[in-house]
A and B are shown apart, each in its own frame.
Chain A
Amino acid sequence: MRIFITTLFLLLTAWFALGSGSGHLHRPERVSIAPKDIDRDAARTIMGDPPVSIMGGQSMSCDSCHGIFESGLEEAEVRNQHLEIKLEHGLNARCYNCHSRENRNMLILPGKVEIGFSQVQQLCASCHGPTYRDWSTGVHGKSRGSWDMDAPERRLMLCTECHDPHHPAFRPLAPLPAPRSIHGGSDNTLQTPHFDQRNPLRRRHPSAGSSSSKP
């Protein structure tokens, strides 16, 4: 009997001694995220006021061309310039709904009132009233700098800093990687029948599938 106990003791000793090195957590390879994917200053580059673009090394305002050439027709799709712009703004499908025909450095409100590009929210507000109401109190859109309403660095982002005015809907984007659980598996383990049986909420729920009908 003593021999048996001693042998067991020695075996246990050997097991602990040899096993002591294997108690480390398996560290999965880390996920690397490109800095541009979590760039907190990301925003659309918007036109200045007056709008300027670089052509042939010179910075030119829109009207320095459009003031010379006669403006095109009302229809959006009759264009031989700016072909990269695809206008997908719902029913709002004409250039001169928003751009002033007379002065291309300006936008134009429905009442034929010209406004600068930096006042673009007035133009958007002429159709998107509730959204403008929310934006002006900070409920819609994004604010920058500070949560403190009195902080000088606090600023509401303009409509066009997030939305492309020619395609205002947000374009779908690729999600960053899903989390990997510390236990080394995916969260799919939570969906196994085993889990369902242990979880009373899951069993009660009608969408829990076949496992819910079992007694």
Chain B
Amino acid sequence: MGIHATEVTATTGRGRTADSEDAPLLQVKNLQVEFRTRDGVAKAVNGVNYSVRAGETLAILGESGSGKSVSSQAVMGILDSPPGFVTGGEIVFKGQDLLKLSKEQRRKIRGTQMAMIFQDALSSLNPVHTVGTQLGEMFRVHRGTSKSEAKKKAVELMERVGIPAAKERVNQYPHQFSGGMRQRIMIAMALALEPDLIIADEPTTALDVTVQAQVMELLADLQAEYNMGLILITHDLGVVADVADKIAVMYAGRIVETAPVHELYKRPAHPYTRGLLDSIPRLDQKGQELYAIKGLPPNLLRIPSGCAFNPRCPMAQEVCRSEVPPLHAVTEADGTPIEGRGSACHFWKETIHG
């Protein structure tokens, strides 16, 4: 962690005075992203707010097209632009708004202070360079380490993420590794410079369950060791239940529900979340019809008016078709607020309290 000391002091002038010691590591405020395509403007992210503290795991849960990956690409600053444009909002990382920084400044932050793990390790690694070169590149580019020193560091990293015979395998190419091992290399690469924040975009979706368990375990261990903030992007309700501290559920570019992990599974406050949880096959439902959310996720070029979920919602009323529900603070039946809970549903009270 000593490495960061200098960089942190450089930026804390503003950060420390504005917020207290426990200010969140990352705070996304009213983020908006759109894709300008030939067919029209697709609003992929429409006003997303979330925050992550050091050592905390935020899971962003959503289906394809919900904007979960796009919002994190905007945070990393790796959005394909054009067609993708950040059209509004703030991304406050350690007290400074990343959207106000120059490209060069953002590049310095990427890798050293925040890093990303991608879903498909095979296509994220360069097939014509050895994994050692690719791992060592982090040190050579950002730290100016010599080639031989970088290789030594690469071996250390590979050992750290549990790759056997790291000394020999450092000279191998990505295709010579299995899927699980490749994902470990991706993790090693993200960890190389000990960043404060890691964004993992579906890190285990391409892996088999037994290997998935190994990789998630490794990620959790390393997160605890380095006290990193982790944003886990996934559609798997099982993985989320295993590792997340808090959850943001996304639908059609908005966060429809936020909650601490135990709360969300026990009593969801949004009909979409409840539908997702109800459609998981449970033991006592054997032989019966599964609950299914009717209809399809919306086309982002034509998001329904009002609440985007209204055409599929069993509770939809007239107001849902006309008014976009804000993220209401969710309270107990007697009005006591519940920390960290919010629901973008006009009828959250009915949803959570029956």
Asked if A and B bind, the verdict is no
